[in-house]
Structure 1
Amino acid sequence: MDERSRSAVTHAHEEEVLARIAAGLVHTESEAAFQASRRRTEQIFAYNHTPPGEVEKRRALLVAIFGSVGERTVLLPPFHAGFGSNVHIGDDFFGNVNLTFVDDVDIRIGDGVMIAPSVTLTTTGHPVHPARRTDFGRFSEPIVIEDKVWIGSNAVVLPGVRIGYGSVIGAGSVVSRSIPPMTVALGTPCRVVRAITDEDLTTRTAER
């Protein structure tokens, strides 16, 4: 087989793996290894070790790390990401310390989102049966966080979840299902406890 033929076979294999990933099907570490060049490990390390006063350098690193990033972004180091390049962040974002993106596929965050310390956004899970976890077998589904969402400390958002506009996720919650707009949701598993209404304009916290 000549070089052109080998290249065509490799390309076809990669396209097949990408299609399986996009469909949320199980794939292995070895099968997905060709995506390694999209990992922004060095830039993430550099960002986490950049002094706070070097604002322009921090901004340049965020642009290099993320798939897209809006204006007036605040992300307090350290943060962690599997790729970085699969994360898309809107304007006026605030992310507190120890934010973790497990971004094997897209994580899309809207405008005006606030995320408290030690939150994990993970697009990836693993099969229950150990035989299917050979070579780190896994599946991935994208996460969407709409505009004006606030996520409390130590929350975990799992694969395939969409959090609707304006919603509040309570601290320590495990979000395994999508959350509708303008609601307060909390717990393990995370469940909607009430709607956000105009009465909340006069209160200090979601719980009063």
Structure 2
Amino acid sequence: MALTEKEKMISGQVYQAWDEELVNERQKAKKLCFALNQTCPTEQEARQAIINDLLERESDAWIESPFNCDYGYNIKAGKGFYANHGCTILDCAPITIGDNCLLAPGVVIATAGHPLDPVERASGDEFAYAITIGNDVWLGANVTVCPGVTIGDNVVIGAGSVVTKDLPANTVCVGSPAKPIRTLDISENKAELAK
């Protein structure tokens, strides 16, 4: 039996983005993002309900406005997730985010990409590769995370960096493309927090 365009999308195969099911699901997410972005920041219960509807699960994730995503249901955020103002998450493939992760203003996490060939691109073909972000990660302002990347635990990524390749745990990373510039010794800090 042939895969649906949604099944192709989630599994990392080339798919047609203008498939009716996918268009309808993106419209649902856009409607929820619009509702979130129009709800007063002080209406925390209402905002949390919209976030839960968008992610299709109960969550303590907190997302500031404005926020945009493609589907919502492919964002698997752990405990203590916080997205500051102006973040965009293109979740065509699964995005797994660990506990206690922080996104500064303007962060873009994008699983989606397009073929380099202009004819294929014009036909509506797309691809999407899953992104994994470990626990205790902080993405600085205007960081962009590209398709297929894995970011290890306890990583800090400097403002304006572009993550095109996997980044190892316990590092500070900066640049375009982002590269480790420092290793963090978090064992002392973890012991201090445990007291």
1:59 aligns with 2:42: no
Distance 2:21 2:186 in 1: 50
**Is contact 1:120-1:157 (8 Å) kept?**
yes
**Is contact 1:157-1:174 (8 Å) kept?**
yes
Match of 1:120 among 99, 108, 125: 108
Q: CA RMSD in A?
A: 1.9
**Is contact 1:173-1:186 (8 Å) kept?**
yes
Counterpart of 1:148 in structure 2: which amino acid?
Answer: D
Counterpart of 2:22 in structure 1: which amino acid?
Answer: Q
Match of 1:152 among 110, 135, 140: 140
Deviation of 1:200 after TM superposition, in Å, equals: 8.9
CA displacement, residues 120-157 of structure 1 (integer Å, 9 cap, x when unaligned): 00001111111210233211001111110000111100
Deviation of 1:94 after TM superposition, in Å, equals: 1.5
Query: Which protein is bigger by CA-based radius of gyration?
Result: 1
What TM-score, normalized to structure 1?
0.82
Residues 86 and 52 of structure 1: is their aligned pair in 2 closer, same or farther, counting only changes over 3 Å?
Answer: same
**Is contact 1:91-1:112 (8 Å) kept?**
yes
Runs of 4 or more, structure 1, over 3 Å off, are 16-20, 198-201
**Is contact 1:158-1:176 (8 Å) kept?**
yes
Which structure 1 residue ranges, 5 or more long, are not aligned? 1-11, 202-208
Q: Secondary structure at 2:36's aligned position in 1?
A: helix
What TM-score, normalized to structure 2?
0.88
More deviation in 192-201 or 120-129? 192-201
1:70 aligns with 2:59: yes
Residues 63 and 22 of structure 1: is their aligned pair in 2 closer, same or farther, counting only changes over 3 Å?
Answer: closer
Number of matched residues? 187
Deviation of 1:37 after TM superposition, in Å, equals: 3.6
Which structure 2 residue ranges, 5 or more long, are not aligned? 190-195
